[in-house]
Structure 1
């Protein structure tokens, strides 16, 4: 054997501990991954369904930690909380006015029937079922009402839409919680006609109020005139010949008190006063 040469058996013995460490490390990593994949957490507000090699199980899992076979099973989570769906729908009213309706729908998945929904429809049920149902039913209901009634009877329209959506979506185990008609949008011409009608109604109401005010003021004036006439009538009833004579005496006395002792020589066009002093002097 040549010097400096190491037998192959000796080299294998030196490498074997390192190889075993690597193998055991890989096995440990695989085991750790398998352990970590043996459990799954169903989040709050959701229910879980086992999916084994592509097949969905009808066992409903409540929120919490659940065991599953690693690399073979996985848990599908279904949101059963209230979900909001908004959509815009273009349609025509009963009087053929174009109307765009913005609707907000609150709905949820019936957790007891989550398996049926996921198995028959899948996770895209919002676009497959919910959105088309809203579009169709809103168009159906708005076509029953005139454009002005859609505004005046907004609550009635919303209730009818909710009832029809409840029946439609219950087929797929979806629960309608509430629906809101956020806005009705009409053509500019229709909006202008509505505005003109409101202005005319306001003007008519103002004219009616003005007429009522004038009537009330006239009634007040008549009542005041009647009161004054009644007062004057009572005053006339109080005037007697004795009262007239008494007033004349009072006026004469007041005139005598103010007289300075001189008689006027001429008074208007009447007969002149006689100067008593000049007659006595002669």
Structure 2
């Protein structure tokens, strides 16, 4: 009787194992794709058409695998170098904001594999090529002074190149833009020359203005003398003596003037004599 108990417990154990396996297989038959993710279903190592977007999806147990991709915005800084239209070396660093197209993750899985491969094998080389296209349209000076136009040409080239790989470019920015030391020295020398030229123009204009001011002053003095001459001519020599009397008084200052001016009411001509002569007599 005692030996029959283990035999009766064996089916229960087997049944428990079967139920556990069924639960495990059942749980392994579904995959949940969260927002911001997209997945690729592979059966026996072969990627299946049609991306798995967010939600609950069935997958064959044991023989299948699911590769999940982050389709949120990714940001990477990519360096680039190129020659300009006038054969000057130009270096730049671009910050690229992009994301994978969820619908095209199957293509990414088949051609690039991982997101890291996407950056190293696709985004970085295409950034370099796009920068070459934009820089080759301009001289080194134009690349620096027309920075927005340079970026616009770069963006256009990069978007068209990455689109065929299922990569959506959201935004780019130029982190750094540098040129060769030789050109830097040339720019500095040019700026110094331009400053000297502007200084020379300023000095020339200042001299011209000073000369014009001298001319205007000379014209003013000549006009004043002409008016004085006309007045003297009209009123005779009396005004000359009056003017000399006024000047003599000014020169005397606050002291008693040596020249005393006398005149009568009938005549405008002053009579001048030296006060010192009276004291001597």
Fold similarity call, TM over 0.5? yes
Alignment-derived partner of residue 132 in structure 2: 139
Give the drift of 1:53: 3.3
1:244 aligns with 2:239: yes
In the aligned structure 2, how far is the partner of 1:105 from the partner of 1:134? 9
Contact 2:50 2:103 in 1 (8 A): no
In the aligned structure 2, how far is the partner of 1:217 from the partner of 1:141? 51
In structure 2, runs of 5+ residues without a counterpart are 246-259, 264-269
Q: How does 1:65-214 map to 2 (within 5 A)?
A: 65-123=56-114, 124-214=117-207
Alignment-derived partner of residue 256 in structure 2: none
The 3 A distance-change label for structure 1 pair 245 and 236 is closer
Question: Could you say what secondary structure the match of 1:107 adopts?
Answer: strand
Question: Could you say what secondary structure the match of 1:184 adopts?
Answer: strand
Q: Deviations over 1:65-121 (max 9, x none)?
A: 444444444443333333333222334334333333323333333333333333344
Contact 2:36 2:72 in 1 (8 A): yes
Alignment-derived partner of residue 41 in structure 1: 32
Give TM-score scaled by structure 2 length: 0.69
In the aligned structure 2, how far is the partner of 1:262 from the partner of 1:79? 120
Larger radius of gyration: 1
RMSD: 3.9
In the aligned structure 1, how far is the partner of 2:238 from the partner of 2:71? 102
Contact 2:37 2:68 in 1 (8 A): yes
In the aligned structure 2, how far is the partner of 1:148 from the partner of 1:246? 75
Count of equivalent residues: 256
Give TM-score scaled by structure 1 length: 0.69
Question: Could you say what secondary structure the match of 2:87 adopts?
Answer: coil
